[in-house]
Structure 1
Amino acid sequence: MSLAVREFSAAGYRSLQRIAYPMSRLDVFVGANGVGKSNLYRALELLRAAAANTLGHDLAREGLDLAMWAGVRKGGKPPRIQLSASFSEPDRLEAAYRYEVEVGYPPPGSASLGVEPEIKAESLTYFAGRRPVRLMDRDGPSVVARDEDGRLVSIDIDILPSETVLGRLEDPSRYPGMDLVRRTLLEWRFYHDLRTDAGSPLRQPCVAVATPTLASDGSNLAAVFATLAHIREDTVDLDAAVGGAFPGARLIVPAPDRTASFAMMYREFPQRLFEASELSDGTLRFLGLAGALMAYRLPPFVALNEPESSLHPDLMEPLGRMVAQAAERTQVWLVTHSERLAQAIDKTGAGAIRTVRKKDGATTIDGLTMLGTFRGDD
């Protein structure tokens, strides 16, 4: 079982001075360049990185000095990046788990490589009954956790300051709550680098093996299509999406041998198949997004960053319908510059359209309060 994410919060990261956001089935963020939409997306990626034990590495690669909030900090407190998410079973709205992690600079004289991010604190809380229960608590190198019998024990774990407890979990059967949250985060998928250049993975045949979910770089797109066509034997929705985007065209998925491939057939050239290597950037990107949103098994959470790139404006409506359809099967988080795409999704009635702005250097979302609720909500 995977968990649904119910709330996300970030503080001290780039333009995210402090923001808490209540997640829905489909959240669409639209706004001008430079207001911090991609920072919201990136902060969610960092939560997944905590589960993969790459949070310290990813922030170091980004540059910790650049990643820190550059504005005024109240009370002279040391700079920190704080990230958290609340989760529940898919059929419940109330949060059952909350994971939090806090990152800062290493202390002077510490054994670190340059300005290496250091995990200052980390916790996992379970909400059952009236009193929340801490399943894991880390303060620097000290880590305690509740085992499968509910006992609070000290974990003797060889952990570097840049590593997360969540990512270093060595005995998942002993800490089932922690394992459930980690596995959920690791299943999240982020699609922002679906390249369409000549060397793009989307243009290449791939190994023919049943593939339920598109990889983040799209390298298994042909296998995703082959799984729908030849294992599930159901391409009705996929064919409708392609036909709606490219009237008169058809997606052709040959029966795989050692490799899987796909091609397009156009009404004007019925005797000619156009292979992936020949397709335009816009056509290929749309097909990549179709693979991400219409695969046999969708991840519990899908994030898209500027999916409209390389697409003709007339493709915003077909893309919007595809996004809304995916939100019936999973949670979707979408960042876009395209008002037309946001309006297309809004017309489906499937999700919340949020306007992102910047005020005094900090990213804000219209109507969102500091408590993580929207004005006018019950």
Structure 2
Amino acid sequence: MILTLAVSGYRSLRELVLPLDQITLVTGANGSGKSSLYRSIRLLCDVAQGRAIGSLAAEGGLDSTLWAGPETISRAMKRGEVPVQGTRRKQVISLKLGIADEDYGYAIDLGLPVPSSRSVFGKDPEIKAEAVWTGEILSRRTEIASRSGPAVTRLNREGKRDRVVETLAPFDSMMTHAADPQDGFELFALRERMRSWRFYDHLRTDRDAPARQPQIGTRTPVLASDGSDLAAALQTIFEIGDHDALLDTIEDGFPGSDIEIALQNGYFEVLMKQSGLLRALSARELSDGTLRFLLLTAALLSPRPAPLIVLNEPETSLHPDLLAPLARLIVRASKRTQIIVVSHADSLVDALSGEPDCLHHRLSKTLGETVIEGVETPRWAWPKR
């Protein structure tokens, strides 16, 4: 389980270190920083897959994602005695992301390259420093591997530090270029764990959504991020997953209903039988809310549980009566995987907040900076450049 998430210099997250639990619930008003927190976790996952630079470029480049406020916020600014104002920059430009779980920790520091007239990629961020360590806090004693500039140093089997890479490109992560199942097992294990994180915020339920159409199906233990393989994913749960949990969840959300998967010429299609109707409804006929609940069911009851599932506003399109069943589904799924839920729905928040393994973070903004109310900040240390 991830115990700590740390973000520095990303949009409104000037310096945020927060604890996580088996279920972590993130709420707050519009503009409080929920989306930035969600995107920062996605960016960490992209690092493990070698996509961090491209992901930042898609957001407008590093410049557009950096903290836009002053480097320091004085007490006088906080009290309103003087206006918020910037000064000449003293610190280097930096975007930092990190996690610490029950086994390992990882952090990355991204910055801008030295200006050069020889390249048209001068706006691409560079990886300035990385570190992997054991336990919850980075120190010289706990460090397993570190990257400074183009060089990567890693502990060998005898506990000595070897320089394993000398010329790592500034746009390549040591997570993708220094992880080895034999000598770099810790990096390899952490990278594969991060690659297995799942994010569901673009589950399509519109009229042309792929989930509404018959699709060629193969065994699908993991639902696609857009839900396009819903029918195959549900059938996979029926065959090799928790069949009873799937039936219980459908009954909880839609009493007296049942689902089946129709198969014709290799194409799979979801059919739903509802109480009082003489025929089953195809996915094309289901309401947006009904289809979304089925998509969330397939995602959360996956036969191949992810180390982490992040749900961004899962209540979208759901009827209020489905929020309590959704909360029970999340709680059931949390027995096998860690879940972060970003939500606006009061009834869903209330239902989850009462769970013993749920940690509720309420985000707000002070002088443009996202802060969390009433949370004891875990200890944290960033790698040095």
Under a length normalisation based on structure 2, what TM-score does the superposition of the two structures give?
0.87
What is the RMSD computed on CA atoms of the aligned residues? 2.3
Matched residue of 1:253: which SS? strand
Equivalent of 2:319 in 308, 312, 315 = 312
Unmatched runs of 5 consecutive residues or more in structure 1:
89-95, 374-378
In 2, Cα distance between the equivalents of 1:215 and 1:350? 27
Letter in 1 for 2:185: P
8 Å CA contact retained: 1:53, 1:163: yes
Deviations, residues 226-258 of structure 1 (Å, cap 9, x unaligned): 1122344x4222222222222322122346862
What pairs up with 1:50-129 in 2 under 5 angstroms?
A: 50-63=47-60, 64-74=62-72, 76-88=90-102, 96-109=103-116, 111=119, 113-127=121-135
- Partner of 1:248 in structure 2? 256
CA drift at 1:203: 2.1
8 Å Cα contact 1:21/1:372 also seen in 2: no
Match of 1:217 among 226, 235, 242: 226
Structure 2: gaps of 5 or more residues? 73-88, 381-385
- Code of the residue aligned with 2:107 in structure 1: it is E
User: Is the contact between residue 226 and residue 256 of structure 1 (CA under 8 Å) also seen in structure 2?
Assistant: no
Match of 2:375, SS state, is coil
Give 3-state SS (helix, strand or coil) of 1:124's partner. strand
Give the letter aligned to residue 17 of structure 1: R
Counterpart for residue 296 of structure 1: 303
Identity %: 35
Equivalent pairs, count: 360
Alignment partner of 2:141: what SS? strand
TM-score, length basis structure 1: 0.89
Please say if residues 24 and 361 of structure 2, whose CA atoms lie closer than 8 Å, have aligned partners that are also in contact: yes
Aligned equivalent of 2:277: 269
Q: Distance in 2 between matches of 1:8 and 1:339?
A: 24
| Residues 1:283 and 2:290 aligned together | yes
Instruction: Map Cα deviations across residues 52-95 of structure 1 (whole Å, 9 max, x no partner).
Output: 0111111111122221001111472022111111122xxxxxxx
The residue that corresponds to 1:93 in the other structure is none
Q: What SS class does the counterpart of residue 21 from structure 1 fall into?
A: strand
User: For residues 105 and 134 of structure 2, what CA distance do their matches in structure 1 show?
Assistant: 7
Alpha-carbon separation, structure 2, partners of 1:331 and 1:6? 10
| Aligned partners of 1:324 and 1:350 also within 8 Å | no
**Structure 1, residues 309-367: CA drift from partner, whole Å, max 9, x if none?**
11112211111111111111110000011111101222444412221111111111111
Name the stretch that deviates more: 361-370 or 200-209: 200-209
Which residue pairs with 1:328 in the alignment? Answer: 335
Does 1:353 find its partner at 2:349?
no
Query: Would the aligned equivalents of 1:73 and 1:79 in 2 still touch at CA under 8 Å?
Result: no
**Partner residue of 1:191 out of 200, 204, 208:** 200
Secondary structure at the residue paired with 1:317?
helix
Matched with 1:17 is: 14
User: What's the offset of the Cα at 1:170?
Assistant: 6.1
Greater shift after overlay, 62-71 or 251-260?
251-260
Q: Is the 8 A contact 2:164 2:178 kept in 1?
A: no
- The one-letter amino acid paired with 1:87 is D
Matched residues in 1 for 2:252 and 2:362: separation? 28
| Residue 206 of structure 1: how far off its partner (Å) | 3.6
Instruction: Give the structure 1 partner of residue 246 of structure 2.
Output: 238
- Cα distance, 1:50 vs structure 2: 0.8
Residue 159 (structure 1) aligns with: 168
Quick one: structure 1 residues 223 and 157, their matched pair in 2 at CA, closer, same or farther if it must change by over 3 Å? farther
Deviates more, 1:181-190 or 1:66-75: 66-75
1:152 Cα offset (Å): 2.0
Shift of 1:24: 0.7
- Distance in 1 (alpha carbons) for counterparts of 2:172 and 2:239: 42
Partner residue of 2:143 out of 117, 125, 134: 134
Spell out, residue by residue over 1:78-122, the C-alpha distance to the aligned partner (whole angstroms, 9 max, x if none): 22111111122xxxxxxx311110011111117451411111111
C-alpha deviations, 1:186-230, integer Å up to 9, x for none? 010011010112332322334433222222222222122111223
- Equivalent position SS for 2:69: coil
Point out the more displaced range, 216-225 or 48-57.
216-225
Return the alpha-carbon distance in structure 1 between the equivalents of residues 297 and 355 of structure 2: 18
Query: CA distance change for structure 1 residues 256 and 209 in 2, over 3 Å: closer, same or farther?
Result: farther
